[in-house]
Amino acid sequence: MDEYLKTTLPQFDWEKPRLSFGQRINLLRWEVLVCEQKYDPIPAIKHMNTLRNKISHRLEMKLDMEALLPLADYMQKLSCPRPYEVPAQPKELLETFVGTCCATFASHLSFQHR
């Protein structure tokens, strides 16, 4: 995400500011990242950041599939025409979601450097 932001917003001096993850998320724009709003990962990324913040304050907290519902919903929007089968384990869903987001950012960067 950092490399994506540096490429998309080159007018900023990225060496000086120490932006939080939430602040960096707020700089993302779906219309630059993906072709249709239904593919927008930003709300799910924001939700994941909220969960990360909760976990950092309560280490005993365990994630269940209900807590990850926005991530599953996002993955289901991507899976056309075949429906996405939501994994039974939260770890599997998190891995798939993070991998998909990384691929989205990498794809955009690759396109920018053509």
Per residue in 10-52, pLDDT (tens digit) is 888 888 778 888 888 888 887 777 878 888 899 999 999 999 9
| Stated pTM of the model | 0.81
Which CB contacts under 8 angstroms, 24+ apart, belong to 74-78?
A: 74/41, 74/43, 74/44, 75/100, 77/38, 77/39, 78/39
Q: How far apart are CA 101 and CA 62, in angstroms?
A: 23
Q: How far apart are CA 6 and CA 19, in angstroms?
A: 13
Q: What pLDDT score was predicted for residue 30?
A: 76
CB of 37 closer than 8 Å to CB of 44: no
Mean pLDDT of the chain: 85
Q: What pLDDT score was predicted for residue 112?
A: 66
The rounded percent of the chain whose pLDDT value lies above 90 is 25
